[in-house]
Amino acid sequence: MQENEKQILIENLLHSIRKHPASVTSNGVQKTLDENALAKEFYTLISEATGDHYKSEQKQVTILLADLRGFSAMSEKHTAKELIDLLNRYFHKMSEIILHYGGTIDKFMGDSVMALFGAPSSSEDDLERALACAVEMQLAMNDVNATNQALGLPNIYMGIGLNTGTVVAGNLGSILHSEYTVIGNEVNLTSRIEAHSLRGQIMLSESTYDQAAEYVTVGTINDVLVKGRSQSVRLYELLSTSRPKQLEVPQREIRKSPRIAVNMPLNFQTVAGKTVQAEEYEGRINNISYNGMMAVLPMPIQPSAEIKIHFTLSMMSNQTSEVYAKVLHVQELDKHFYCQLEFTFIDDDAQRELKEFIDRIIESN
């Protein structure tokens, strides 16, 4: 029973009592019934009768956290009603799938949804159902986006993180309002894992992968530093699961790594054949990933051309790293040239520094 339903029931009971006032006699003294005490007693009885009165306990659970990518930017082009309606359609679809696989919807937070498998009740196939649920959720985005397109709205994309571990589960709140939820380091880790997922991806923690290795296939393996952990955390990209049936994650994102928005200077030289040209140019980096960047250049460059980049990410040193990149795509807009670049050469030190820089930015968001 939902909290608002309990409150309505309690108010109806109190209303009935007010219509038929009664008093009790104690030690010869007549006393009026205390409505606040009655409300508390009703709440306890209703919670116990409906099974909502959970005591806190440690439980092994798989936590699923899904979040939309780029949703905040949509607020600039669409009305609040359009966005609320879009979110409700999305949440409705995801809720159907979570409940179908026996998950418990823990909460909605902005444009994200968190679900539990193994709490409040648990079974041997909690992890299997959680993984299948995540894949079905990504598959269902086709239907969500078909509706968006019919309504003249843009496609939306979702990243999902899953983690398996021990949490404290129980009712959190007060007699006025409480909800069943889980807390602990594993919940925080799930949020960090989800933040590293690209649109359309499902990322697994090492503990989740270890327990499901015999029936899942994975792709990219990424070691990242996350807040609250002294050691790097290994993440696995889920590609498919064979339990309880064969399901494959749809491929939506061609990027091979997380991409973050930045506003950084880009100093570069063009390359003709195998010769680096002497003239230096300056542009701006709009976003950057482990493997490339999107930059605004002062002049057009042909696709497949190569440039030599000089840039530093270290705040402790002015030393620049030399990186080579190939132009994949160029688009002119308002006399600016937006270029998609893929790194063709980056030394180990620069790659490590770049990865740590991107991971720090992701963690701070």
**What pairs with residue 222 in β-bridges?**
235
Tell me: do 229 and 100 sit in the same domain. Answer: yes
pLDDT at 326: 86
Q: Which amino acid is at 161?
A: G
CATH of the domain at 350: 2.40.10.220
pLDDT tens column, 268-318: 999 887 788 999 999 999 999 988 999 999 999 988 788 999 877 664 456
pLDDT tens column, 33-48: 555 666 656 656 666 5
Tell me: do 287 and 216 sit in the same domain. Answer: no
Out of 114-118, 140-144, 290-294, which region has the weakest mean confidence (pLDDT)? 290-294
Tell me: do 205 and 321 sit in the same domain. Answer: no
Element (H, E) at 91: helix 80-100
What span, in angstroms and rounded, lies between the C-alpha atoms of 166 and 71? 31
Taking all residues of the chain, what is their mean pLDDT, rounded to a whole number? 85
Which residue would you say has higher pLDDT here, 112 or 326? 112
What span, in angstroms and rounded, lies between the C-alpha atoms of 178 and 174? 5
Parallel/antiparallel/unpaired status of strands 336-345 and 216-224 = unpaired
Residue 160, domain extent: 57-248
pLDDT at 33: 55
Query: For a pLDDT cut of 70, what percent of the chain falls above it?
Result: 81
Tell me: do 241 and 332 sit in the same domain. Answer: no
pLDDT at 316: 46
Which residue, of 248, 273, 291, is where some domain finishes? 248
Which residue would you say has higher pLDDT here, 153 or 37? 153
Tell me: do 267 and 311 sit in the same domain. Answer: yes
Asked if 236 contacts 221 with a C-beta cutoff of 8 angstroms, the reply is yes
Tell me: do 156 and 239 sit in the same domain. Answer: yes
